[in-house]
Amino acid sequence: MRILVVEDERRLANIIKKGLTEEGFAVDAAYDGEEGQYLAESEEYDLILLDIMLPKVDGVTICRELRTKNIRSPVLMLTAKSEVEDKVAGLDSGADDYMTKPFSFLELRSRIHALIRRSKQEPSPTLKISDLELDPIKHKVQRSGKPISLTPKEFSVMELLLRHKDEVVTRTMIIEHVWDYNFDGMSNIVDVFVASLRRKVDKGSKVKLIHTIHGVGYKISVESD
Ligand code: CA
């Protein structure tokens, strides 16, 4: 899951980025409206956190332009306490929700999950294949009822595979969804993470779920082919 944070208070932007990264999100931060708008239009985000009062272009204008350009990523507006009329303008512009600063990280986190869930229209949040279950909200994975402990990045890779079960997920898709815009790590990083996931998820089980599609990527499926 990829999130864009557009917030000119760098300290706040960095706290949010750090917290969400620890949750396993890939997070890009922009510190003014122009940069934020550029990223929102050129990359695909699962959610955009958008401050209203921003240098260069304000959040309401950005949101309106995104919707005009048919960019449907959920937008959560951030507004200072005094700017009540901003909330109205924000929601009018096509934002999905707003939060008043200061807010707790826990509340932010639960709003984000709610918005992403709503936008993906999942009646049941739990992702399943065979005896494996992943709960994106509680951040839990289990196989045959036994909990599996994953790092945040492993969890993100697993979630992406499960959201595309029985489909091939390319290495590029994994890098784009799990790492951020500035990623320039080792080219085999994805293979390293998938190998580790395999050890945790498939080792000791009769049915292997994670399959390598040579030269392309990976697939989670009950059938091997
Ligand atoms: Ca601001």
Euclidean distance between CA atoms 208 and 109, whole angstroms: 33
Distance 110 CA to ligand 1 centre (A): 22
Q: What is the pLDDT of residue 2?
A: 95
The answer on 18 and 113 residing in a single domain is: yes
Q: In whole angstroms, how far apart are CA 16 and each of 21, 40, 44, 127?
A: 8, 17, 19, 26
State the pTM of this model: 0.59
Higher pLDDT residue, 139 or 2? Answer: 2
Structural contact between residues 142 and 148, judged by C-beta atoms closer than 8 angstroms:
yes
Question: What distance in angstroms lies between residue 43's CA and the mean position of ligand 1's atoms?
Answer: 22
Going from the Cα of 120 to the center of ligand 1, the distance in angstroms, rounded, reads 29
Instruction: Output the CA 83–ligand 1 centroid distance in Å.
Output: 11
State the total domains in the chain: 2
Question: Which amino acid, residue 44?
Answer: E
pLDDT in tens, 88-133: 676 778 888 888 888 899 999 999 999 998 887 755 578 999 999 9
Convert the pLDDT of each residue in 11-21 to its tens digit. Answer: 999 999 999 99
**CA of 56 relative to ligand 1 center, distance in Å:** 11
pLDDT digits (tens, 9 = 90+) for 47-100: 999 999 999 999 999 999 998 888 889 999 998 866 666 666 767 788 888 888
Give the other-Cβ count within 10 Å of 117's Cβ. 16
Q: Report pLDDT for 186.
A: 66
Give distance in angstroms: CA of 36 to centre of ligand 1.
12
Residue 174 domain-assigned? Answer: yes
Residue found under tokens 């990527």? 217
What's the pLDDT at 213? 92
Q: Classify residue 179: in a domain, yes or no.
A: yes
Domain, as residue range, for 142: 127-220
| Rounded Cα–Cα distance for residues 40 and 24 (Å) | 20
Domain annotation covers residue 225: no
Q: What is the CATH number of the domain that holds 195?
A: 1.10.10.10
What CA–CA distances, in Å, run from 49 to 62, 75, 92, 196?
A: 12, 6, 16, 32
Which stretches does DSSP call E strand in 121-206? 127-129, 132-135, 140-143, 146-148, 169-170
